[in-house]
A and B are shown apart, each in its own frame.
Chain A
Amino acid sequence: MSRVPILSLASVEKVYKTGHHALKGVSLEVHQGELFALLGPNGAGKTTLIGIVTGLVKKTSGTVLVSGIDIDRDPARARAHVGLVPQELSTDMFETVWDTLCFSRGLFGKPKNPEKLEEILRDLSLYDKKNAKIMTLSGGMKRRVLIAKALCHEPSLLFLDEPTAGVDVELRRDMWKVVDRLRRGGMTIVLTTHYIEEAEQMADRVGVIHGGQIVLVEETSTLMKKLGQKKLFVELEEPLLALPEALASAGVELAAGGLKLIYTYDAKAEKAPLEPILRALDEAKVTLKDLQTKQSSLEEIFLNLLKGTNQS
């Protein structure tokens, strides 16, 4: 299956007026119909990246194509494809839900289409609030109004900037459902988050951004497999000439001329994954000098990510 990139960034740089280098050579492709999660701690550059694509931030250099349209060459035509739900809850408070949707659609120069707007409101369970003033709505509903506003010009690419940040568990589930329904309707979605579980739950692919750089882009399933990987290093007093059968069949490898055993395992998938290995070592009557486990380098990245998240 050949997939068309609906969004493509090449070597995008952003240096703010303050001198802060927020994006450092970001290159990225998002495919038609996928849900792409941009995962990174606060200050990683997620909002900056979205701002550049949607026209809120001027990039310093690099190229951005939306549906093949260069945003420098034809910004209006490129933006017509894009819907944006910003990180901050900013809406006009005194307007009704219906009026604000009509305004949003109008801004994109689209002719009136009440049926479409009704459909969007129903999908977001907002239909019975259509004549309510926005200030009377709960926080969760306000966020859904923002999504509705972003959808009402019928974009083909939707950006959701931290849709679940600072939201309680129930609302987060609610939001996941909304996003899932959109995705199944064929919408291409790029969402940002600093929750690993959120990316894991929802995304087809995950891009990790850190310090303004894309650290990796991976299918979610592959990433999760890699993430769970750990290595056990066992140093022996005396070299082993051959691996005992029980260890060999478990996938243990011999290294350093028989002085070292290496075992790669999935720390997440099994319960007590080291149990059988340790027992086999004991049965083989080898003398241990040292024991060590290590996370994959990816895991370290994520630990750093989490640290960043907890600090904020």
Chain B
Amino acid sequence: MNTGAIIAIYRFEMARWFRTIAQSILTPVLSTSLYFIVFGSAIGSRIEAIDGVPYGAFIVPGLTMLSVLTESVSNASFGIYMPRFSGTIYEVLSAPISSLDMVLGYVGAAATKSFILGLIIMTTARLFVPYSIEHPLWMIVFLLLTCVSFSLLGFSIGLWADGWEKMQIVPALIVTPLAFLGGSFYSIQMLPEPFRTLTLFNPVVYLMSGFRYSFYGQGDLGPTLSLALLAAFGGACLALVLWLLETGYRIRQ
């Protein structure tokens, strides 16, 4: 393992983020604030509490996950797509770096960014609605695992895409719909059949449910099942990424 290289890539990616730090932080703070003004205060005051949790508080974990999911995917995919696109990837490919080193550097940085983002959003939300976190450890574990596994997914998109359209297509057509329909704004118990059953095939549902459990001690499904599925999803993404790198798919001719 080339630790120096992992650190170099990680630093480089973080520096890229810090160069636009104001934008990186202000954008999510602003959009979260807007969500809470509209859904939390304006509309939320007319919606009854779900399982005893006021609607404003109910959407905190969902909104956090929604942003973390999309940011993980976009951060990690751009992190590797840009050097491929500009040609600077040659330097990484010609250095004594294993596939795993590359993943640790790039995905590590992307996951760190979205983890920080998640914390920022939860902090901002606290300004609008009072909430407490019942199981902080579960919360950290879920947040971290989500950051890592969706960054891995994003990384594989960035490795696979050979044009800007493809970079947009997976997030727009798959990730965003799944995230929105994953129960970020509602409990799946509120859905009529057959949608309630169909929803169970959406992996994001388990994630949202698990994350919400860590906040309020209750969720649509058990936290252990959520955790197991999330871990399996992360493992599958890691395998996909390593396979793409090892076969040199679209990066080594």
Write the residues of chain A forming the contact surface with B, with a CB cutoff of 8 angstroms: 16-17, 51, 54-58, 75-77, 79-80, 82, 84, 86, 88, 90-92, 94-95, 99, 102-111, 149, 153
Contacts and interface: CB of A to CB of B under 8 A. Distances in A.
A295 B2 CA distance: 55
A55 B93 contact: yes
B95 to A, nearest CB: 4
Contacts of B252: 55-58
Given A94-B16, A107-B92, 9 more contacts: A16-B253, A54-B94, A56-B90, A75-B96, A76-B2, A95-B15, A103-B12, A108-B2, A149-B91
A23 to B, nearest CB: 12
B248 interface: yes
Contacts of B97: 76, 107
A47 to B, nearest CB: 10
Contacts of A108: 2, 4-5, 95-96
A99 B15 contact: yes
A109 B96 contact: yes
Given A75-B96, A84-B94, A109 B87 contact: no
A54 B252 CA distance: 11
Nearest to A111: B4
B46 interface: no
Interface in B50-101: 86-88, 90-98
Nearest to A99: B15
**Chain B interface mostly:** helix
B230 interface: no
Given A90-B87, A106-B5, A111-B4, A51 B253 contact: yes
Given A58-B252, A94-B19, A86 B93 contact: no
Contacts of A99: 15
Given A55-B93, A106-B4, A108-B95, A88 B87 contact: yes
A139 to B, nearest CB: 15
A219 B87 CA distance: 34
7 contacts: A75-B96, A82-B94, A92-B86, A103-B8, A106-B7, A107-B91, A109-B3
B157 interface: no
A76 B94 CA distance: 9
Interface string B182-211: 000000000000000000000000000000
Nearest to B16: A94
Interface in B1-31: 2-5, 7-9, 11-12, 15-16, 19
Contacts of A94: 16, 19
A56 B93 contact: yes
A111 B2 CA distance: 11
A84 B87 CA distance: 13
Contacts of B12: 103
